[in-house]
Homo-oligomer: A and B are copies of this chain.
Amino acid sequence: MTPEYIKNLLTAVKSGDTSVEAATEQLSQLPFEDVGCAHIDHHRELRQGMPEVIFGEGKTVGQIVKIMTAMAAKGSNILVTRLSADKVGELATQFPLAKYHEDARCLTLEQVPAKPDGKGTILVVSAGTSDIPVAAEALVTALFLGNNVEHVSDIGVAGIHRLLARREQLASASVIIVVAGMEGALPSVVGGLVRKPVIAVPTSVGYGASFGGIAALLGMLNSCAAGVTVVNIDNGFGAACAANLINRV
């Protein structure tokens, strides 16, 4: 229910084309009419090129095909996250233009080429080899949302010189996503080196007292580097969404 719609309705009332009662009825529904609100949201999404995202975990191939088909028909770009490799075959058959990013466990279907219109570069830094899938999810997502991205991997706090050597690259990013498991100390060190927004992503990498990522999560929440914020364990997608918004402030 856009302002135009309201203005038209009122004009019709004034001209007598619509009765006061009929208009009252329509307008009194306003607080409950989500259609209008949804329209506005829809417009904004189209306007911003925000593509559609499907959380693939726990969905059957059939369900995903159904949702993708509906979306594709609207000409939308589509991102499917947490898509295990065994589901890709049928999707590839149905959507030959879709691309599967194995490391990231993501599938993308770009019908309209994404323009990297974010202000700067989103830099993803990951600690160990096992953290790469989460980093890759962040990279694919950030790229898909229209950002330039860079990746630096295998940068752990126990070999601090590898990080120091990247100081300039860190300083030149507009936002930094730091992905780390185990003790999750990397965001603190990165946050202490450069004055850029740092989004920390704890991963479930580790064993024993890592408790599936709790150790890393707590470490990041208690970071002594002010300016570090945290997302859920293994949530590379969410970190990229936040970085995307920050990259457009």
Residues of A whose CB lies within 8 Å of any CB of B are: 3, 6-7, 10-11, 13-14, 16, 20-21, 23-24, 27-28, 30-38, 41, 44, 48, 50, 53, 57-59, 63, 119-120, 127-130, 156-162, 164-168, 174-175, 182-185, 188-189, 191-193, 195-197, 199, 202, 204-235, 237-239, 241-242, 244-247, 249
Contact = CB atoms under 8 A, between A and B. Distances in A.
A229 B13 CA distance: 46
A127 B224 contact: yes
Between A53, A174, A211, A222, the greatest number of chain B beta carbons within 10 A of the residue's beta carbon is seen for A222
Contacts of A30: 27, 30-31
Contacts of A21: 7
B241 A226 contact: yes
B245 A59 contact: no
Given A34-B164, A185-B185, A209-B213, 6 more contacts: A7-B21, A7-B24, A10-B23, A158-B225, A184-B185, A208-B233
A165 B33 contact: yes
A143 to B, nearest CB: 16
A208 B221 contact: yes
B224 A130 contact: no
Contacts of A233: 207-209, 221
Given A159-B192, A197-B249, A219-B215, A14 B7 contact: no
A17 to B, nearest CB: 11
Nearest to A10: B20
Contact of A175 (B7, B53, B249): B249
A232 B180 CA distance: 18
A160 B161 contact: no
Contacts of A213: 208-209
Contacts of A229: 199, 229-231, 238-239, 242
Given A32-B167, A221-B231, A188 B192 contact: no
A212 B209 CA distance: 9
A81 to B, nearest CB: 10
B215 A222 contact: yes
A28 B6 contact: yes
Given A27-B30, A33-B165, A48-B195, A219 B249 contact: no
